[in-house]
Structure 1
Amino acid sequence: MHAVLHALSITGSMTWEITWALVLGFVLSAVVQAVVRRSTVVRLLGDDRPRTLAIASALGAASSSCSYAAVALARSLFRKGADFTAAMAFEIASTNLVVELGVILALLMGWQFTAAEFVGGPVMIVVLAVLFRLLLRGPLLRRAREQAERGLAGSMEGHAAMDMSVQRQGSFARRLFSGEGFTSVAHVFVMEWAAILRDLVVGLLIAGAIAAWVPDTFWQAFFFADHPLAAKIWGPLIGPLVAVASFVCSIGNVPLAVVLWKGGISFGGVVAFIFADLLILPILNIYRKYYGLRMAAFLLGTFYLAMVVAGYVVEFAFGGLGLIPDQADAKIPTEGVTWNYTSWLNIAFLLLAATLVWRFLRTGGREMLRMMGGSPEADAAHDAHGGHHSTGSSSTP
């Protein structure tokens, strides 16, 4: 019982430390999604030119941070006419280049990790685009499209089908500060929380358990911490494999990344581990359902290679510039709730979150939560009714 309580106390401390940052990140993401329409995204992703992939990455960075929702949304974009490479670039950016991930990394691990994510993410997308250009053949892509068109549902399918952007015309400010804009931000904010909450809770619990129960000596031996060169080579190779086995994705893998970093994994290994939220076993199974077994295996191989390369680039680039922080300075939050600036920030942002939840519930939010699971029939009905889910009207108070 003492060991369990110790693990839960670490989980609670981590949760308290990152609450305000999570709310801030999801509010900023919701604001962007409220004014960017899904039809615009599809129209801009019709090929795999460098400019298109850059646009896909930017749009993805402004989108969902939930791995399941990102995978479902990428399939939805592919079915509606987006290029497959552009859809995958969008998927990678929407889980690894989002604001909330950068804020959490900076808070728990240091700004260097945030910078590494925003450097390594584009590297991964470039490597993946090159691999797709060299290795992805027409027959495999055609079979993947045929499988995608069958509309087999996966996790978060309903969430991916919803376009909750503001439909009225006008400037960014006018659309955002309208009644419809307030409603749209509230709906995106709550739906994004609903999408990642399970993974976040599981990730925090796993991180707390590992921090409390697994001695640092185990991780130091596993990651070759006493052999710096071997650790740099081994880290990016093993980081994604640890992620695959952890079942934790989205923001939820950051607390576990803190534990691994403190345990001795290399800087590039941490980055590769965080990128691999798109290769956990449940998501690999979703790839199989969406695109077929052969394409799922192709995505596993190419994504893994791209993650490893991005990990090495970050490892040696940041190491050469002297930007890798000292692992000895890494600390897992264990203080619990203390009255400091974190407390004031948590209070302020929890009040903001409560306001958005209130708006969500006042404007049909419960029905949207029921739709999140989705189904092929719901998706077909959604497409038949114009391809978006309205969150309100211009007359919303």
Structure 2
Amino acid sequence: MHDMIMRVGQALLMALGMAWKTGWTLCLGFVISSVLQTIVPAAKMQRYLGKGSAKEVALASAAGAASSSCSYASAAIMRTLFKKGADLVNALAFLVASTNLVLELGIILLILMGWQFMVAEWVGGLVMIALMTLLVKLTRPTKLIEEARQHEESGKGHEHGSMVVEGETWKDRLKNQQTPVRVAQNFAMEWSMLWKDLVAGFLIGGFIAVFVPDSIWQALFLTQEPGWVQVGTNALIGPVVAMLTFVCSIGNIPLAAVLFAGGASFGGVLAFIYADLLILPLIDAYRRYFGWKMALYMAAALFSAMAVSSLLMELVFSSLNLVPQPSGDIRAQLTQFSIDYTFWLNLMFGAGAIWLFWLNYKNPMHHGHSAHHSHHHGSEDHSDNHNH
């Protein structure tokens, strides 16, 4: 009994460590999403990201790379982009880039798993965007896309998705005295929709890291099979494991290190890292945002791109003899806290989040009025931006 209590405590500490590593990125991502909802009218989004051209895909990818590194926050931003008129290809390019091409994710990979994983993550992310773009353009379900764009979101807060404050330009809207209040309202709404998924994800990830022995991972990732069998199947198994472990982007990296140490192949671990966009709580979020049909379509397109990209990275890095060896005790690293850059970033962004929650508390959203206000200014923004 005492041993079990100790292991449960270790699992909870592991979950806390995962949450600690990702806390500031969650705050950053939700702030970006909230600002987009507040100052970016649909006409502007249609103008810059509405067609799905190669230039727009590159722009969306660059915006994603400069954005949040947490899959939950990135999904919220992607939802905003798509609902405001961005082409599906561009919205998905942003989603993939924001969870695979961001700097902080690469830094954590470099520290915990080596430069090879960092490079493979970034190069593989670009390959994944290219593959996903090609796949969506070949199978483009036009009717489904329009239905998803108009889908009324289930759960709280679906009415506020199109609210834009007054102002002819984005600078005017940013300077509007109501902008901080509206951003705070949207920020609080994002957290209210996803906090349960986040808590569940970190807890599951922590318990898996502590209670699942390496022998299970070795059997699951077929470490005893010939190399060509392991490489091919791991590219498919990696995303499935990610779907069932519920951990978001940066939080995936410590668990990925556990998998790599346990015997998973290089490509299989990359597929696991890529697939933080396919965890079950996120697929459920896609359902709430767009409906079941679009959620499943997105999942299938992302899964295919992830599997092929991870397989290509495995083949390239193996042919160049660049696949690293597992090293270090990742479990120990996760449960050791120190005053480092994560501490200061969490302190800074945590203070900002508290201020936004306080501002929302002092100015609660009135749904009936907000829905009317949203519709009114949505039409104004459309006409204003058409003329300007």
Structures share fold, TM-score greater than 0.5 = yes
**Would the aligned equivalents of 1:57 and 1:90 in 2 still touch at CA under 8 Å?**
yes
SS of the residue aligned with 2:330? coil
CA distance in 2, matches of 1:379, 1:147: 22
**Would the aligned equivalents of 1:32 and 1:62 in 2 still touch at CA under 8 Å?**
no
CA distance in 1, matches of 2:88, 2:54: 14
Distance 1:205 1:128, change over 3 A: same
Deviation at 1:200, TM superposition (A): 4.9
Q: Report the counterpart of residue 386 of structure 1 in structure 2.
A: 377
Q: Percent identity?
A: 38
CA distance in 2, matches of 1:85, 1:327: 36
CA distance in 1, matches of 2:48, 2:126: 18
Task: Confirm or deny that 1:50 pairs with 2:54.
Answer: yes
Deviation at 1:265, TM superposition (A): 1.4
Q: Report the counterpart of residue 217 of structure 1 in structure 2.
A: 215
CA distance in 1, matches of 2:79, 2:335: 41
Distance 1:313 1:193, change over 3 A: farther
**Would the aligned equivalents of 1:14 and 1:334 in 2 still touch at CA under 8 Å?**
no
Distance 1:160 1:382, change over 3 A: same
Amino acid corresponding to residue 348 of structure 2 in structure 1: L
**Would the aligned equivalents of 1:261 and 1:330 in 2 still touch at CA under 8 Å?**
no
Provide the aligned length of Structure 1 versus Structure 2: 370
CA distance in 2, matches of 1:195, 1:294: 21
Deviation at 1:223, TM superposition (A): 0.9
CA distance in 2, matches of 1:141, 1:221: 42
The within-5 A match list for 1:337-356 is: 337=336, 342-345=338-341, 347-356=343-352
**Would the aligned equivalents of 1:152 and 1:289 in 2 still touch at CA under 8 Å?**
yes
Deviation at 1:344, TM superposition (A): 4.8
**Would the aligned equivalents of 1:123 and 1:310 in 2 still touch at CA under 8 Å?**
yes
The within-5 A match list for 1:1-397 is: 1=1, 2-12=3-13, 15-16=16-17, 19=20, 22=22, 25=25, 38-39=40-41, 41-136=45-140, 140-153=141-154, 169=171, 198-227=196-225, 228-288=227-287, 290-329=289-328, 331-333=330-332, 336-337=335-336, 342-345=338-341, 347-361=343-357, 364-366=359-361, 380-381=371-372, 383-384=374-375, 386=377
SS of the residue aligned with 2:4? helix
Deviation at 1:381, TM superposition (A): 4.2
Distance 1:225 1:180, change over 3 A: farther
Distance 1:204 1:378, change over 3 A: farther
Deviation at 1:31, TM superposition (A): 8.9
Q: Mind listing any 5+ residue stretches in structure 2 that lack a counterpart?
A: 379-388
SS of the residue aligned with 1:146? helix
Distance 1:346 1:47, change over 3 A: closer
Distance 1:24 1:68, change over 3 A: closer
Deviation at 1:306, TM superposition (A): 0.6
Deviation at 1:244, TM superposition (A): 2.1
RMSD: 4.3
**Would the aligned equivalents of 2:32 and 2:77 in 1 still touch at CA under 8 Å?**
no
* Stretch of structure 1 that moved more, 302-311 or 277-286: 277-286
Q: Mind listing any 5+ residue stretches in structure 1 that lack a counterpart?
A: 388-397
CA distance in 1, matches of 2:326, 2:105: 20
**Would the aligned equivalents of 2:65 and 2:102 in 1 still touch at CA under 8 Å?**
yes
* Stretch of structure 1 that moved more, 6-15 or 252-261: 6-15
Distance 1:293 1:15, change over 3 A: closer
- Per-residue CA deviation, residues 325-359 of structure 1 (Å, 9 max, x unaligned), is 21254632268446xxx335455445434542454
Distance 1:289 1:107, change over 3 A: same
CA distance in 2, matches of 1:67, 1:378: 31
SS of the residue aligned with 1:217? helix
Distance 1:220 1:358, change over 3 A: closer
- Per-residue CA deviation, residues 90-115 of structure 1 (Å, 9 max, x unaligned), is 22223333344334433433343332
| TM-score of the two chains, using structure 2 as the length reference | 0.75
**Would the aligned equivalents of 1:190 and 1:360 in 2 still touch at CA under 8 Å?**
yes
Amino acid corresponding to residue 366 of structure 1 in structure 2: Y
- Per-residue CA deviation, residues 51-72 of structure 1 (Å, 9 max, x unaligned), is 1101111112333444345445
- Per-residue CA deviation, residues 257-308 of structure 1 (Å, 9 max, x unaligned), is 2322222111211221222222233443444555455444433322211110
CA distance in 1, matches of 2:369, 2:77: 15
CA distance in 1, matches of 2:136, 2:251: 29
CA distance in 2, matches of 1:127, 1:378: 43
**Would the aligned equivalents of 2:19 and 2:251 in 1 still touch at CA under 8 Å?**
no
| TM-score of the two chains, using structure 1 as the length reference | 0.74
More helix by share: 2
SS of the residue aligned with 1:343? coil
* Stretch of structure 1 that moved more, 91-100 or 36-45: 36-45
Amino acid corresponding to residue 220 of structure 1 in structure 2: Q
**Would the aligned equivalents of 1:235 and 1:269 in 2 still touch at CA under 8 Å?**
yes
SS of the residue aligned with 2:377? coil
**Would the aligned equivalents of 1:248 and 1:277 in 2 still touch at CA under 8 Å?**
yes
* Stretch of structure 1 that moved more, 344-353 or 231-240: 344-353
CA distance in 1, matches of 2:51, 2:315: 32
